[in-house]
Amino acid sequence: MTKFARNKALLVKMDTAYGEDAMPTGAANAIQALNFKFEPSVGQDIGRDLILPTMGHQGVILTGNFARISYDVEVVGSGEPGTPPPYGACLRSCGMAEVVTEDEDATYNPISNGFESSSHYFINDGIKHIMLGCRGTWKLNFQPDQVARWSFTMTGLLGTISDVAMPTVDLTKFIKPVPVSKANTTYELFGYAGACETFSFDLGADIQARLLINAESIEYVDRQMTGQATMAAASLATIDWFGKAAAHETGTMEATHGKTAGNIVSFSGGKFQLGRPSYAENQKILSNQLSLMVLPDVGNDEFFVTFK
């Protein structure tokens, strides 16, 4: 029977015990995603290099096997202040703590221990791949006239592969996004809210498949969070990016996307350091390209995402 590439489903549920199947369902745990890239078998191909009296390929042994999946999710809230977004499990699987204040907001910040994990089911037109103990990282990009998206990359232990019926999924909890624009989006860096062409963040989590004797796991071992911003060039009297970079200054970053309660997502950090500024041009207008390092202050506080 022909298998069609458009027929896909992604189900994600937090684990209660690491490496055990959390058994996500289409009714409760479906993720509305796009731009899938699935690597069902990642690992090492070990050549044998046997001494033989003739030439020829000797085959390989597949070892150190795990799986990886990448996908995008639109930046939206839950529709209700104080309710986590429908992809909260994805954020928590990327080493972020979730704190919910009823009727107010749900906030996520990076952590340095006690990492959670999730089970991912990826169903490719009736072929179900199970990934266990998943942990990952994300990138986030905002460009005018586009829909902002999280780009998740998840790594997991190999579960089973089986033929199944396509699940019935409930995606009603995913509300419609609003485009990035002056009307919907604000961005402020070092207290300066000038014209911004684009800004982005990269959690920079280092995810390692640790496959040992008697123990296998996917480990979150480090993060080096960075960012980028392209701002319309201004006089040095208005904002001197070059001076701030040379002086190793740090400053705040504040961004908000969305205006309607339940679909407002804010991003903040208190200690951003500039890298080496450079120039670019768009529509024959000069801009500054700014690389950013996202630094902790007292620890696990370099970046906050708040849904309200």
Q: Is the per-residue pLDDT at 157 higher than 90?
A: yes
Question: How far is CA 35 from its chain centroid?
Answer: 13
Question: How far is 289 from 212, CA to CA, in rounded Å?
Answer: 43
Task: Find, among 156, 122, 124, the residue nearest to 18 by Cα.
Answer: 156
pLDDT digits (tens, 9 = 90+) for 74-88: 999 999 999 999 999
Q: What is the mean pLDDT of residues 203-226?
A: 98
Of all residues in the chain, the percent with pLDDT exceeding 90 is: 99
Question: How far is 111 from 299, CA to CA, in rounded Å?
Answer: 8
Q: What is the mean pLDDT of residues 211-221?
A: 97
Q: Is the per-residue pLDDT at 293 higher than 90?
A: yes
Residues in the chain: 308
Residues with Cβ < 8 Å from 75, sequence gap 6 or more? 140, 147, 148, 149, 150, 177, 257, 265
Computed from CA positions of residues 256, 291, 74, 302, in that sequence, does the dihedral angle turn out positive or negative?
negative
| Cβ count near 68 (within 10 Å) | 20
Q: Is the per-residue pLDDT at 243 higher than 90?
A: yes
Residue 128 token pair: 């179900």
Q: What is the mean pLDDT of residues 151-166?
A: 98
pLDDT digits (tens, 9 = 90+) for 184-210: 999 999 999 999 999 999 999 999 999
Question: How far is 175 from 199, CA to CA, in rounded Å?
Answer: 23
Show the CA angle centred on residue 245, arms to residues 239 and 247, nearest 5°.
Answer: 100
Computed from CA positions of residues 155, 159, 162, 168, in that sequence, does the dihedral angle turn out positive or negative?
negative
Residue 79 token pair: 């529709």
Computed from CA positions of residues 212, 214, 218, 221, in that sequence, does the dihedral angle turn out positive or negative?
negative
Residues with Cβ < 8 Å from 80, sequence gap 6 or more? 262
- 């997991």: which residue's tokens? 156
Q: Is the per-residue pLDDT at 55 higher than 90?
A: yes
Task: Indicate the SS3 state at residue 17.
Answer: coil
Average pLDDT, the chain: 97
Q: What is the mean pLDDT of residues 250-275?
A: 98
Per-residue model confidence (pLDDT) at position 1 = 84
Classify residue 30 by its DSSP letter.
Answer: B
Per-residue model confidence (pLDDT) at position 239 = 98
Per-residue model confidence (pLDDT) at position 247 = 98
Q: What is the mean pLDDT of residues 271-296?
A: 97
Task: Find, among 48, 107, 74, the residue nearest to 300 by Cα.
Answer: 107
Per-residue model confidence (pLDDT) at position 92 = 98
pLDDT digits (tens, 9 = 90+) for 122-140: 999 999 999 999 999 999 9
